[in-house]
Each structure stands twice: as C-alpha cells, then as structure tokens.
Amino acid sequence: MKKLFTLLTIFSSLILAESKPNIIYILADDMGYGDVKAYNPDCKFPTPHLDSLAQNGMMFTDSHTNSSVCTPTRYGIMTGRYAWRTRLKDGVQNGYGASLIEPDRMTLASLLKSQGYNTACIGKWHIGMDWALTSGSSAKAKGDNVDHTTPIKNGPVDVGFDYYFGLAGSLGMPPHCFIENRNLISELDVIHKDKKGTNKKLHSCRPGFASSDFDVFQVLNQVTDKAVDYIEKNAKKEKPFFLYFPLNAPHAPVTPHKDFQAKSNINAYADFCMEVDWRVGQIIKSLKEQNIFDNTLIIFTTDNGCSGTAKIDQLLAVGHNPSAHFRGIKGNLYEGGHRVPFLVQWPKAIKAGSVSDQTICTTDFLATLADMNNLELKDNQGEDSVSFYPALMGQNIDTTQRTAIIHHSDQGKFAIRQNKWVLVMDPHAGSKRKDGFSTPVKNPAAIQLFDLDQDPSQTINLQHQNPEIVSRMKKQLMSIIDNGRSTPGQAQKNDPGKKGWAHYDELIEKIN
C-alpha cells in the first residue's frame, strides 16, 4: 500500500510539473518603446523576432518600469517592491555595489523554486552582491579593496537561483569578467586604464580590473549561448525551469557583435537593437528545437527607456524616435523614461495577436507568478505587486489591488499615475537628461499634470485647471510612500537611506 501511495505521489507530481509552464523573462537594457517595430511603425530598423512575439502572443501598450534607471528597476522586478523603499533612494549601484535584496525577502526565483522549478539567472545582475574586502567597510568603485579570489556572498544564488552566469553590473563597469555562481571564471590579469577605449576589447569601459579574454563585443553572444545551453540541458528534465535572462544590450558601451556592425545603416545603437532582436530569436529557436515552445511563457521587456548614449540626434535625423511619440528618455519621469515594450507569448494559454491597454508595472510579475501558482503573498512580500495573470487570460486586472503606480527618476524624484492622469512632482521631470523633445511643455510649473488620453506626448501642463485632481493625487502619493506599500495589507516600513532621504523632505514641502 505504501509503495502504491509513493507511486501515485510521483505520478501526481509529474503531471503537475508537466502542466506548469517553463518561464523565460528577457530584460533588454536601455531599449526604448519605439525600438520595436510592433510598437512603432516608424522604427527604422527591423525587429522580426520581437514582432513575432507580438503577433503570436500578447502586446501590452501601457507597461511601465518601476524606475527609469537600471538597478532600481531590477530590484523591483525581482521583489515586487519599489526600490526607493530600500536604502537606494536615487541613482544606481556600480559593479561592486553591495546586495540590495534583503536576505529573507521573497524573489521571483525563491517563489518559483518553492513550486518545484529549476531557476537560473544568466546575464547582467546589477542588484548588488557582497564582495570580500581587504580593507574598509565597503567596496570601492574600481575594486581596489576587493579580494576577487574569495567567493561572493548574497548574489543571485543566495536569493533563489540555482545557477548564475553573468556580469555584476552594467557591461562597462568593473570587474570586467564573468561570474559563475559565486566566483569569477577567469583571473583578473589586466588593469584597464583608459576609459576612451584604446584597448578595443574593453571599448569605452570604465577603468578597473579585467580578465584578458573579456571582450565587450562578444558578451551578448556569450550570454545567449549560455542561455541556449541552459534551455537544452533543462528541456527534458522533470522539473519546469525559470530562466531570468537580463541582457547587457543595447546599454553603453554600445558594442554590437561584428556580424551586426553597420547592419542598420544608422548607427551602432540601432545595430545593437537588431542584435537584441536576433538573440531573442535564438532563444525561441532553441525552445522549438527542444519541443517545449508551446508550454513556455516568454516575457520580453526593457528596464527603462533609451539612453542618450544611443546618440539620439543621429536616430532622429533618419526619422527614428526611440521613445516613439512619447516625451522622455532614460532617467526622467516623462513617459519615454519608463513606458516600455512588454511582450508575452505562451502558445498553450495566450491567444495570438492579443493587445492589452491595461496598465501594468515591472513590479507585477511576483504577484502574477503567485496567482498562477495559487499562492497568497504575505504582507511583507511583493508590497507593490499586482497580478496581471487575468490580463493574460483575456480578463480585467483587479484594479482594487492598487489604485496608482509610482514612477521614480534617476535623481530620486517622484510621479504618480492614476488612470489617465499622471502627476509629475518636478519641473524638470526629475532628471538632468534631456526629454527628447524640441518643444518645451506648455504652462511650465513646479508640478506638472498631464492627461495621457488626450495628450500622450505630455505637451500641456494642466495642473492649474485641475486643483482637485492635483490635491487628491498628492495625498495618494504620500499615502503610498508612508504606508510602505501600494497594495492592500498591513503597513510596512521603508528602509532608511544612507544619507537620509532628501527628496522625501522636498516632496513634503512641495505637497504642503
């Protein structure tokens, strides 16, 4: 009898594993809403593989990152929590930044691991990890006080991933070397000194430690090969897998592989976007070859809008706007800084050619996965995460779970979005970066209110005409900040900043 019970248990678990989809989350780096032809008919370079995801899956048209820069968006994706609730109140970390994810916090990986998934992160991490130090209390930006031979702590494999291969920070940040699990895979035998890129392999990288075989023009190709290898090794296993695949491209240094250089006939950034598209195609091809494509949930999105390093003037000169018709780029609070492509394909479950205009945020995947697995998040899990699983099934998202989304800039300034209205709490959209438009906003003021239904390009500030709406949204913004969550549940605490929270104090003054 006991033997029969064991066999039934094994059989039941196999059926459950077979029914659960494999999941691949692809995150491009600094790629704009207008850099995918499915979103922007005026896109001046082809993106056939991304367009195929749109044609054969679901395209979200009102998707937003929780920040308009790298590190905080990645933290939000992993944890379902706004990153400004952590000690990181503005900006990003460098390649030696300490781990930002709290030791006991639920992540996408730990949630799925608890549900029987094999989990892997391959690509750019940039949420911090703890390096062994030779002196001092924190790692220096160039790694001068870091012991690179000691295993790293509190990186991806300590927050739920079974396997990790990739970069500590952005492509141009030291250490210029791949990490596998907790260790560098090569000796750091070169000191890169010239930020101008006289060493062609380390073109435009920041000075710092490097391995002699590290070549920035090869990185996207190398991480894709690793991802394909992971898919092939896990395709026939009983457990489903989750692959988080954060790309290093088209972020600076803008270094497309030689096979893509000059392919767009525009500039290196456009070439790099074409390579991103091709690498996505390689992932899809591998899934099909392994006969697991139909029951694999694929997500493609980006961590924020296009960066000025793309040489936007060159793109605009040929009629290509990386933000499409939206004002703003990476770093600022206008739509182009945080409205991003968000494509989902799951042939077994999602109707081909679907388009959703429901508003979602990159913090939402944690709650979505919990929903898919019939789990209920605790009060200290996914505080800013709302499931968009209903949207994938052709239904409406439960808007009572979060009444507004908060946007955050590179300088730590805030905006709040509710329905068609967005309130920007800074006259410069929270950044020194240009907004990408030649004409300034009409009716300039310290606070800006836009009606996105009537004015998606954010050309006219309506705050003077709508004092009641401004007042209501100000109060809502402060409530979401002070409660430590934007979803129903017990209030949580925000973490203190290392140097205080100056922008919070400024916000209070502005609101009062």
Nearest to 412 by CA among 329, 500, 301: 500
Class of residue 178 by CB neighbours under 10 A (exposed 0-12, middle 13-18, buried 19+): buried
CATH for 405-511, options being 3.40.50.300, 3.30.1360.170, 3.90.1150.10, 3.30.1120.10: 3.30.1120.10
The pTM of the full predicted model, rounded to 2 decimals, is 0.95
Mean pLDDT of the region 344-363: 98
Nearest to 368 by CA among 396, 348, 388: 388
Helix (H), strand (E), coil (C) string for 338-351: HECCEEEECCCCCC
* Beta pairing partners, 424: 415, 448
Give me Rg for the CA atoms of the chain.
22
370 pLDDT higher than 80: yes
* pLDDT one-digit tens code per residue, 166-176: 999 999 999 99
Instruction: Please give the structure tokens belonging to residue 249.
Output: 């491209």
* pLDDT one-digit tens code per residue, 464-483: 999 999 999 999 999 999 99
121 sits in which H/E element = strand 118-124
pLDDT recorded at residue 304: 98
Nearest to 152 by CA among 173, 171, 119, 127: 127
Query: Position of tokens 């593989």?
Result: 49
Instruction: Place 508 in a pLDDT band, splitting at 50, 70 and 90.
Output: confident
* pLDDT one-digit tens code per residue, 108-167: 999 999 999 999 999 999 999 999 999 999 999 999 999 999 999 999 999 999 999 999
DSSP class of 414: E
Residues 350, 344 contacting (CB under 8 angstroms): yes
350 pLDDT higher than 70: yes
Query: Strand (E) positions, 177-314?
Result: 179-180, 183-184, 190-192, 208-210, 241-246, 296-302
* pLDDT one-digit tens code per residue, 373-401: 999 999 999 999 999 999 999 999 999 99
pLDDT recorded at residue 19: 84
75 sits in which H/E element = helix 70-79
Instruction: Place 500 in a pLDDT band, splitting at 50, 70 and 90.
Output: confident
* Cα-based distances in Å from 346 to 36, 301, 365, 368: 19, 15, 15, 14
State how far the Cα of 205 lies from the Cα of 207, in Å rounded to an integer.
6
15 pLDDT higher than 80: no
pLDDT recorded at residue 18: 52
Please name the residues in contact with 311: beta carbons below 8 A apart, sequence gap of 6 or more.
267, 269
pLDDT recorded at residue 498: 81
State how far the Cα of 338 lies from the Cα of 332, in Å rounded to an integer.
8
State how far the Cα of 340 lies from the Cα of 342, in Å rounded to an integer.
6
State how far the Cα of 165 lies from the Cα of 185, in Å rounded to an integer.
9
The secondary structure of 315-335 as a DSSP string is: HHHTT--TTTT----TTSSSH
Task: Name the H helices within 363-447.
Answer: 365-372, 389-392
Residues 403, 505 contacting (CB under 8 angstroms): no
DSSP class of 359: -
Q: Give Cα 124 to chain centroid, integer Å.
A: 10
pLDDT recorded at residue 12: 36
Mean pLDDT value across the chain: 94
Boundaries of every domain in the chain: 405-511
* Helix, strand or coil, per DSSP, at residue 210: strand
Residues 30, 304 contacting (CB under 8 angstroms): yes
* pLDDT one-digit tens code per residue, 246-264: 999 999 999 999 999 999 9
State how far the Cα of 364 lies from the Cα of 80, in Å rounded to an integer.
6
* Beta pairing partners, 128: none
Can you give the length of the chain in residues? 512
pLDDT recorded at residue 10: 38
Task: Name the residue type at position 425.
Answer: M
Task: Name the residue type at position 150.
Answer: T
pLDDT recorded at residue 88: 97
pLDDT recorded at residue 502: 86
pLDDT recorded at residue 17: 44
* pLDDT one-digit tens code per residue, 230-244: 999 999 999 999 999
Helix, strand, coil fractions of the chain, as percent rounded to 5: 30, 15, 55
